[in-house]
Amino acid sequence: MPKRKLDPLPSAAFQILLSLAGEDLHGYGIMRQVADQTDGRMRLGPGTLYSSIQTLLDEKFIEEVDLREDPKLGHQRRRYYRLTAAGRKLARSEAERLADLLRVARAKKFLRGDYV
């Protein structure tokens, strides 16, 4: 299987990295966290979600932790994912890239405000 491209980083993959910043999550947890952090604008469907997860796993930006139950969601054992050091670095560099972009946009008066 060839490596799936993460350059530029797709927005779904970036959102997944961000969602895992605080804690390990299973697939549905990631989907809910992404929906929360985008005010419901991005609801990752199973296809996009697991496709992105596979890509991030291939590149070792995230890793599988273990199978365990989510006490809030019943007795089904779920696969949890964790952000790796490389993933954290990638997310940071992507955030910085966006911040740079935003500064340019503000400088060109596309956006108001003086600080990102």
Binding site for another protein (CB under 8 A): 1-2, 4, 27-28, 31, 43-51, 53-54, 73, 76, 78-79
| Residue among 53 and 56 whose Cβ is closer to another protein | 53
Residue 9 is given by DSSP the state: P
Q: To the nearest whole angstrom, how small is the minimum distance from the Cβ of residue 81 to another protein? A: 11
Contact 42, 35 (CB under 8 A): yes
| Residue among 47 and 113 whose Cβ is closer to another protein | 47
Tell me if residue 95 falls in helix, strand or coil. Answer: helix
| Residue among 40 and 113 whose Cβ is closer to another protein | 40
Which of 14, 36, 8 is closest to 83 using CA atoms?
A: 14
